[in-house]
């Protein structure tokens, strides 16, 4: 009886350790492209960076793009979120984040990443410019860490 209880404790802690290992790895697996849901290929010949780079660095690249655009007033489009959406919107839904198979969501739900970007930014190309997508006009950005301490969109 006692040994069963010990076994139970052991199993539980083993499960806990395994669980923690799982929590720690999905991002890496996603980045390595292992076990991913099939991702729709983007439009055009290639991405704005080589695939390995964009997989690993797109959070930083988008953040940098945003800071440049909003705080330094530099308007380039290389890592523009709008451009990502233009090339990666799904054939079926016309969006990057409307269904579970849509490009950005397919990967993020697997990696347990949740974005607030779509509260303001359109998930579909054109026709719906970001300024019409919601309560934007001069609003504070909800993720001030990304836009600087003030979080104010200039
Ligand atoms: C509260 C609304 C709001 C949220 C949420 C938000 N943004 Fe923005 N973002 C803006 C506004 C407003 C602009 C300025 C739009 C413009 O000038 O075109 C902007 C501009 C940007 C730009 C530069 C323009 C472009 O298309 O490249 C990037 C990049 C960007 N945001 C990325 C993000 C990312 C990534 C997230 C999620 C992590 C996010 N934003 C969440 C409001 C928001
Ligand atoms: C001009 C169109 C275009 C733009 C703009 C674009 N992409 Fe891509 N993207 C592609 C294509 C095409 C591929 C497939 C490239 C390949 O397989 O060689 C791709 C691949 C990717 C991949 C790898 C997918 C996989 O199978 O693992 C990611 C992640 C990605 N893009 C994210 C982004 C992000 C984030 C942005 C915006 C900063 C962006 N892309 C902008 C066309 C684009
Ligand atoms: C190949 C898988 C994959 C695809 C496709 C992908 N992402 Fe990601 N994304 C990730 C992973 C994994 C993370 C978390 C990695 C990290 O934190 O370093 C992440 C994180 C992010 C973050 C930072 C989130 C935060 O709160 O810090 C943003 C912004 C982002 N992705 C935007 C996009 C957009 C926009 C698209 C679609 C154009 C996209 N991603 C497509 C795998 C992907």
Establish whether residue 51 lines the binding site of ligand 2, counting it when its CB lies within 6 angstroms of any ligand atom.
yes
What is the mean pLDDT of the segment spanning 109-138? 73
The residues, ordered by sequence, that sit 6+ positions from 65 with a Cβ below 8 Å of its Cβ are 76, 78, 79, 80, 81
Least confident segment among 26-35, 36-45, 102-111, 137-146? 137-146
Note the pLDDT tens digit of each residue in 2-34: 444 443 443 344 443 333 333 434 444 445 555
Atom 32 of ligand 3, nearest CA residue: 59
C-alpha 55 – ligand 2 centre gap (Å): 8
Residues 105 and 61: their CA atoms lie apart, in Å, by 18
Residues 49 and 78: their CA atoms lie apart, in Å, by 9
Give the pLDDT score at 116. 92
The top-scoring range by mean pLDDT among 10-14, 27-31, 100-104, 107-111 is 100-104
Nearest 5°: phi and psi at 152?
-90, 130
Residues 32 and 142: their CA atoms lie apart, in Å, by 30
C-alpha 49 – ligand 2 centre gap (Å): 8
What is the mean pLDDT of the segment spanning 117-135? 71
Atom of ligand 3 nearest to the CA of 117: 29
Least confident segment among 22-26, 66-70, 80-84, 85-89? 22-26
């Amino acid at each position: 009886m006692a040994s069963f209880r010990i076994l139970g404790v052991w199993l539980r802690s083993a499960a806990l350790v395994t669980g923690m290992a799982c929590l720690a790895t999905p991002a890496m697996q996603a980045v390595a492209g292992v076990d991913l849901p099939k991702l729709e290929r983007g439009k055009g010949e290639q991405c704005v960076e080589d695939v390995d780079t964009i997989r690993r660095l797109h959070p930083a690249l988008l953040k940098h793009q945003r800071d440049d655009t909003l705080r330094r007033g530099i308007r380039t489009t290389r890592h523009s979120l709008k451009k990502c959406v233009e090339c990666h919107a799904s054939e079926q839904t016309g969006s990057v984040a409307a269904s579970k198979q849509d490009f950005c969501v397919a990967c993020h739900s697997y990696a347990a990443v949740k974005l607030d970007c779509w509260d303001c930014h359109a998930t579909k190309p054109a026709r719906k410019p970001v300024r019409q997508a919601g309560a934007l006009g001069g609003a504070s950005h909800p993720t001030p860490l990304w836009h600087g301490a003030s979080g104010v969109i200039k």
